[in-house]
Structures are given as structure tokens and as C-alpha cells.
Amino acid sequence: MWDDAFPSFLIGLREGLEAGLIVSILVATLVRAEARNRLSQVWTGVLAAIALAMSFGAVLTFTAASLSATAQEAFGGTLSVIAVAFVTAMVFWMRRSARSLAGEIKEKVTGALAMGSGVLILTSFLAVGREGLETALFLWTTARAAGESAGPLAGAGIGLVLAAGLCWGLYRRVLKINLTRFFTYTGAVLIVIAAGVLGYGLRDLQEGGVLPGNTAYAVDLSSHIDAGSWYSTLLQGVLNITPTMTWLQVIGYLGYLAVVMTLFIRGVRTSAPKPAAERKEPTAAADRAEPEPGPKPSGRPWRRPAWVVPVAVVAVPAVVAGLVVAFARPKPSGGQTVAVSETECGKGFTAPKPGRQTFQMQNTGSKTSEVYLIDPGTNAVYGEIEGLAPGTTRDLVATVAGGTYAWRCVPSGGKAVTSQSVTVSGGGGSTKAVVPVSENDLAAPLTAYKAYVEQGLATLVTQTRTLDDDIAGNHLAKARTDWLTAHLTYSSLGAAYGTFEDFDKKINGRADGLPGGVTDQDFAGFHRVEYGLWHAQTAGQLKAPAQALADAAAGLQKAFPSQGFDPGDLPLRAHEILENTLQFELTADTDEGSGTNLATANANLAGTGELLTVLRPLLTTHAPKLLPTVDADIARLQKLLDAQHQGASWTPVEQLDTVTRQRIAGATGQLLEDLAPVPDLLEIRKSA
């Protein structure tokens, strides 16, 4: 549960700090100025933002629909820039207020607090609203990924409570300082915060495709700074300074900071208080001034109840969210029912309206089928269902725009059947399709990778024989060096493990799960030899395991050309290699004494790179934006691993300090996440 809660805790702390700092300064300003009657305006904005965020979360939960990634970034970026504008206005209002409030706070508070109620509400709303929407979206996606909501919600709650406590401490402190200094110091702090928000917003707009320069980095310290550490999270939460920043972010941040801070300081210096003799003190007579005579009202005038606005700001988002859920949520009974069978495909399919549609796919045949909504001209896939069993009905949700559509049904063991096409007129928003990949498309990458494996196996056979000779000759020091060389060769062949059948257990088996552990008679291969070499076993004790390892490598080399290598395995292995790295190598689970898990992780990374090399032509066509991101991830992880390699030795995983270990695991996880779409992008889909 903590694994699911910790990311949400960090986001709760980060977003809570960013919103809470501005709100606490707003509240402290009004309290210090004895304008407590204006606090309701701030809390109304905060309440409206919370209601909006919760309503947004409800819409995501109950409609199972979300903004596209680019739309999320563009929306957040726009809201960030708007927030900066209002915060900047707030800063200069504070500076002007310092001039009049310093000596006449009681008499002229109304004139000095010239900010309208609408602006106060809007400022607090924007301060909390952007963070609330981001938090709602983050929690929703985290809960879906984790398969449960208790952990993410608990983590976010703890983070928000901690952020509230920190902001409360700030609020209590600023109430005790000199008012003029308060305006000056908090104004300067807000300018720095606003500069960070602006940089953050510009980054969002870049990632949303609104502004250029998304990959033009001015600063990239991700290999030196752990983005998940507490200090990094605190720095990002308060100042929005991240380890990686683009040129546009840096220019926007520094430009805003230079211009606005200069104007602010210049205004402070030119706003010295007037001499006491020049100040006009209010007279007692003025204090007791009677209102001018005039007609008295005939009755008490109607005043709006204080609860109306708070109730409205909560009710309106809730009602809107309810309407969205009621009318936008896909309803199983409201879409077309489309028949699927071995002979008929798409019966009942008529041209749908543009927009998000739900189709009830009913298998009326006798075989399990795969079903695709396609463009018959290009075979591009807009939606799919795998494993639709006979007699069952499942929903397929897809976004339909103007164009031509058809259904393709692929029964298990049968031929693909394509329905008649229909034409949809009008808009309906952008649709995202996946161009299918055939076995023929993967034939060339498979041939190239098999050649790489065959060459690697030939090298492996030579190296394991050398290792065997070392042990037979009682040269155990040399055997330790040659063991690592051979093991890294085998580790670089990760994408082929699924085709090695029983040879993988003989060559690289683990002691985990064996009744006798490292002493079990079935414990064999590299890790068995490793255990003996680093636990003072004699050459006589290691002779049989070393000979068995060399024989298994030779057997695999002979069997590999005739072993079945499914071309669909190549895309699957793109991320599975690193899944094993994260599970076994970076936890030291497979360390039997050599302390070389990071060397193995490095070999796994090299194997991943070789696999991506043969898949690169297809990935360039199907996902041109994916490869630059993955390449940057690989370079970042490679740099982290290289830092732990000194000459012929590697730092054991268990000797890494916590920060370094987290950085390596985090970089591996990020690469793994960015590689996750590859199997879907390059999945083989039967088209005829």
C-alpha cells in the first residue's frame, strides 16, 4: 500500500504547498490589515476550487473518460499563466497598500484594500483550482494503475495535511511581523513563486503542443538529482524548479523574475513613508461625524444571506458534474449492437454519429474472436476487443470522426472477415488510430535480431569453455573475471529468453524457489558457479557446475536455429528485459556474492538497445515521438550506471547509498514506462 501511497503523498505535498502558500499570504494580509470581513471572499474562492476539483474527479471516475495528454498539458499551462497574471497583480497591490496602511491602517483600510471581491475570489480560486485539477487527475490515474484507491487517497491526504501545516506555520509567523516588512517580504516571495509557476505553465504549454521547444533543454540535472527525493519535491513544490528545464522555461523564469522583481524593488524604494507632520490625523469630530440628513428608509433593506455564495460555488460544479455523468457516461444499452461470428461480421452496424460512441459487440458464432474497428482503406485500428468468447457481449468504446469505418472479425483459427464499410460525415474531434503491423513487417527485424543472438551464442560458447578451463586448472582468480565476461554476454541476449526453452534454467537459473536453495542439486548455471567462486568453494566442487554450464551453452547454440521465435515476441521483450532488471538486478535478488548486479543491468540495457535498433524503422513510422524520449532515457540510465563502474569493478547494489539507488531505480522505471506502449504499437493484427 505504501508503494501506491508514496507518489500520491508527494503530489499532495507539492500541490498543497503551491496553492497553500498563496492562500496563506492572502489570509494573513487581510487579518493583519484588520479586514477579516474580506476573508469570506478568499474562502469562497478556495471552496469553489475544491468543489471544481472534486467534481472533475467524479466525472473522471464515473465516465471513465479523461482529457488527452496534450489537452491536459495545454489546459494546465493556460491556467498557470492566468494564475501568474493575477498573482502579479496581487503583489503590486500589496506594495501599494504598504504605503497607506503603514500609518493609517484603521482609518483607511477600506481605501487601501481596493481590490474588488471578485478579484480576491478569483485569485484564491486560481491558486487552488489548478493544483486541485492536477491532483484529481493524478489520483485518478494512479488509482487506476494501482488497481485500488485506498493507498493513493491516503498518501495524498497525508501530503495535503502536511502542506496545510507548513502553510499554517507561515501564516502564524507573518501575523507577528511589521506590516510594511510583511508586504515587502511576502511580495518578493510571491514573485519568486509566480516565476516558478510561469516556468511550469510554459512547460505544460510546450508538452501540450501549444508552444515549441519541448525537447530543447537548457538544464538537465536528472542524472545528478533524484526527482523523487524529499528535498527535490519540496523545491519543486515551492519554487517549481525542476531538474530538467527547457530554454523557454529558463528564459520565461529568469525574464519574469528580472523584470517584475526590479519593478517591485524600485517601487518599494520610492514609497518611503511621509514625515509624521505631513500626515493628517483623523479628528475626534470626524470620528463622531453624523451622516447627512436624508429620507429614512421605510423598512429594513433586503440583504443577501451569507450562505448563498458558498452554497452556489459548491452546488454549481456538483450539478454540472452530475449532468456530465448523466449524459456523457457511456451506457451499455444506448449504443449499437454489432454481431460477430465466423461468417458474419458487423451485422447491425450503421453509420454512427461523430463523437465518442459505445458499441455492444455480441459474439453470435462458435469461436472466440478478436474484433477491430478499422479504416478499411488503411487498415488503421480505432478500437479493439481481444478474446470475445462465444455467446458474450462486451462494450467497445471509440471516438468517431468524419471518415470511413468497418469491422474486422478474426475468429480463433479462422480467416478474418471484414464488414461492409460505412461513411461518417461531420467532425467529432480528433481520432487516434494505430496502424497495424503484420508478421511480414516484423520479418526483417526478427532476422536481424536472430543473427545478433546467434553471434552472441557463439561468443558465449567460447567464453563458458574458457571459464570451464579456468576452474579445471584451479585458476579461480581468473575464473572470477571470465565468469563475469561470459555472464554479461548471456545477459545481453534478453529478448530471446522466451525461445531458449529449458536451456535458460540450465544457464541462468536462480536458487529462489528450490527446496535446498543454493545447496539444491538443481541449482545450476552462472549463479551456481558465482556462488562457489565467491564463497570459497574449491575447484573440485566447481568442476561439475562449470562443465554443465559450458555444455548447456553449446546445446543452446546448436538448438537455437530450429527453435520457434515468434516475431510478436520482439515488441513484448522491449520492456520485459527492464522489468526483470528492476525486479532482480536492482534489488540484488540475484547476487550470489560477486556484487555485479549493476554490470548485469548494464548488459540488459545494451540488449534493450540492440532490440530497439532492429525495431527502430517500425517505431519511427508508428511513433516518431517515442524514440527521442526513449533515447534520452537510455542515455540518462547509462550515465548513472557508468558512474558505478571503476575499471574492472562495479559497486554492489547493497553498497549504494539510498539516493543513488533511488536514482538508478527511478531512471529504469521511467525508461520502462516509456517503453510500455511498444507492444501495443507493434502488435501483430490479422488483416486478411
Looking only at Cα atoms, what is the longest distance across the chain? 118
Q: Give me the mean pLDDT over the 6-19 stretch.
A: 63
Instruction: Point out the least confidently predicted range of 272-286, 307-321, 410-424, 515-529.
Output: 272-286
Q: Which one is predicted more confidently, 456 or 296?
A: 456
Cβ-contact 338, 407 below 8 angstroms: yes
How far is the first Cα of the chain from the last one, in angstroms, to the nearest whole number? Answer: 46
Q: Which one is predicted more confidently, 221 or 154?
A: 154
What does pTM read for this prediction? 0.50
The three three-digit cell numbers of residue 5, written as one number = 501511497
| Percentage, residues of the chain above pLDDT 90 | 20
Most confident of 109-123, 420-434, 464-478, 665-679: 464-478
At 544-575, the pLDDT tens digits run 999 999 999 999 999 988 887 778 788 888 87
Q: Which one is predicted more confidently, 208 or 271?
A: 208
Q: Give me the mean pLDDT over the 478-505 stretch.
A: 86
Report whether pLDDT(292) > 50: no
User: Which among 197, 58, 41 is positioned nearest to 131, based on CA atoms?
Assistant: 197
At 348-380, the pLDDT tens digits run 898 888 877 888 888 988 888 888 898 888 788
At 570-585, the pLDDT tens digits run 888 887 888 888 888 9
pLDDT at 374: 87
Contacts 24+ apart (CB under 8 A), 238-242: 238/17, 238/18, 238/21, 238/193, 238/196, 239/192, 239/193, 239/196, 240/18, 240/193, 240/196, 240/197, 240/199, 240/200, 241/196, 241/199, 242/203
Q: Categorize the per-residue pLDDT at 178 as very low, low, confident or very high, splitting at 50, 70 and 90.
A: low
Strand partners, 423: 404
pLDDT at 251: 92
* Pairing label, strands 417-418, 381-388: unpaired
DSSP secondary structure of 611-668: HHHHHHHHHHHH-TTHHHHHHHHHHHHHHHHHTTEETTEE--GGGS-HHHHHHHHHHH
Q: Give me the mean pLDDT over the 398-409 stretch.
A: 86
Count other Cβ atoms within 10 Å, centred on residue 575: 18
Q: Categorize the per-residue pLDDT at 305 as very low, low, confident or very high, splitting at 50, 70 and 90.
A: low
What is the Rg, in whole angstroms, of the alpha carbon atoms belonging to the chain?
33
pLDDT at 469: 96
Residues 6+ apart with CB under 8 A from 144: none
